[in-house]
Copies of this chain bind each other. A is one copy, B any other.
Amino acid sequence: MSDTPDSAVQTVRGYIDQHRAAFLDDLVEWLRIPSVSAQPAHAPDVRRSAEWLTAKLRETGFPVAEVWETDGAPAVYAEWPSGDPDAPTVLVYGHHDVQPAAREDGWETDPFEPVVRGGRLYARGAADDKGQVFFHTLGVRAHLALTGRSAPAVNLKLLVEGEEESGSPHFRALVERHRDRLEADAVVVSDTGMWSETTPTVCTGLRGVADCEIELYGPDQDIHSGAFGGAVPNPATIAARLVAALHDENERVTIPGFYDGVEELTDSERALIAELPFDETSWLANASSYGTLGEAGYSTLERVWARPTAEVNGIGGGYQGPGGKTIVPASAQLKLSFRLVSGQDPYVIEAAVRDWVAARVPDGIRHKIAFGAPTRPCLTPLDHPALQAVVRSMSRAFDGAKIRFTREGGSGPAADLQDVLHAPVLFLGISVPSDGWHAPNEKVELDLLLKGVETAAHLWGDLAGALR
């Protein structure tokens, strides 16, 4: 099936076998750094993570490897020129920060003390995204071993940000500031996943996300629900009413204008999605869930890949301790996020949400609403030659398997790179749904991690041709 001689595959595999132990040792060292960008207490760890990666990229051979400051957490930039004046330029994107994680959330082992069990490496960030950034280090070395070159076949650039798990608030500014140095003919994003261990796929799109925190204030302090209850507005009730009003009986978002401009799935896109070996039982198992619920008229995959959502990520108000406390609470809080699809503008959504909330908060309740920096949705044309190069390289790594197409329901700042750099975005990810992104016991499959290395080893030569 593959158009590459078996010898190339064997050369790459041989090289990887020789270096995999050291590669994994290094990755484990990086995963030990709790680079949680959402928690201010971990800011020094995020910096330490950036410095660790910079040193490691220099050691890998990148002649340029720098910590790039932002108004928030630092990013890492590295560059390895091809030396060939006609070589196209490829920018690899990933992130070195991770989601919050604490043992008591349900981790079987310390989230920042990586362990290998049953061919899996368990740690916060193992799949999202340190593992997937890190396969590029051994990948480019294997590419050199394969081609006999002393520099990559493309001008290879790496941008590894430190605030992705906080919504990348300073990423767009960073990209705009360094627009010239980041210039690229294509962006390769390694922060996505595949269908499964046995169905390798390439992702073609991400949803965007806009998120907000809403504070609702009622009484100045918690008050007696007997003495006052039934006669004053309860901010927890109002918070709940906001959440309940987000969706209609068809689970469609009710905020006026929310669906304006949404790029609807074509019949052929729906058919491609329907061809995937989707099994609801195993999908639910990966989701650790016991039922499906979503927008009427769409399949589960369509719902998570191609439909926008409104989700409550957190709600709190009143007494949450043991026993009861008969109060009308002083305040309540909501954390909402809106997944967005191609055609939606996060700033238009933000304005619509603000208006909608303001119109629904009754007299006697004061409110504040604050949005984080949004992430735009992103969609790559299926017929782009560079996408076909990714498919070919991946097929080599996966023993000639047919590579299918997916999207991801998650979000990344890929769209900012697309916007600012005017470059097509490709996705190269080897994570699988069971990896447990953002969840306790996050892991990466070691076999797949090495398939990522292998794909990267083939990709730079193939892309050099496709982009020329």
Residues of A at the B interface (CB closer than 8 Å) are: 38-40, 99-100, 105-106, 166-167, 193, 206-207, 209, 211, 213, 218-234, 236-237, 239-247, 284, 287-295, 300, 303-304, 307-309, 311-330, 332-333, 335, 337, 339, 362-366, 372, 408-411, 433, 436-441
Q: Which residues of B contact A291 (CB under 8 A)?
A: 232-233, 362-365
Question: DSSP majority for the A interface?
Answer: loop
Please state if B316 and A225 are interface contacts (CB–CB under 8 Å).
no
Please state if B324 and A231 are interface contacts (CB–CB under 8 Å).
no
Interface centre among A311, A366, A408 (most CB of B within 10 A): A311
Contacts A100-B321, A209-B326; is A228 near B312 (CB within 8 Å)?
Answer: no
Please state if A411 and B314 are interface contacts (CB–CB under 8 Å).
no
Please state if A219 and B287 are interface contacts (CB–CB under 8 Å).
yes
Within the assembled complex, what's the spacing in Å between the Cα atoms of A245 and B304? Answer: 27
Interface centre among A230, A323, A363, A408 (most CB of B within 10 A): A230
Within the assembled complex, what's the spacing in Å between the Cα atoms of A290 and B221? Answer: 12
Within the assembled complex, what's the spacing in Å between the Cα atoms of A372 and B322? Answer: 12
Please state if A292 and B39 are interface contacts (CB–CB under 8 Å).
no
Please state if A337 and B239 are interface contacts (CB–CB under 8 Å).
no
Please state if A314 and B325 are interface contacts (CB–CB under 8 Å).
yes
Query: What are the 10 tightest A-B residue pairs by CB atom distance, in nearest-first order?
Result: A291-B364, A226-B410, A244-B244, A240-B243, A38-B323, A230-B309, A314-B318, A220-B288, A240-B240, A233-B293
Q: Which residues of B contact A363 (CB under 8 A)?
A: 290-291, 293
Please state if A236 and B243 are interface contacts (CB–CB under 8 Å).
yes
Set B218, B241, B335, B440: member contacting A324, Cβ < 8 A: B335
* Nearest chain B CB to A324 CB, angstrom units: 5
Set B223, B247, B284: member contacting A288, Cβ < 8 A: B223
Set B224, B308, B332, B410: member contacting A439, Cβ < 8 A: B224
Please state if A328 and B300 are interface contacts (CB–CB under 8 Å).
no
Please state if A332 and B315 are interface contacts (CB–CB under 8 Å).
yes
Please state if B232 and A166 are interface contacts (CB–CB under 8 Å).
no
Q: Which residues of B contact A365 (CB under 8 A)?
A: 290-291
Set B40, B228, B318: member contacting A335, Cβ < 8 A: B318
Within the assembled complex, what's the spacing in Å between the Cα atoms of A239 and B239? Answer: 11
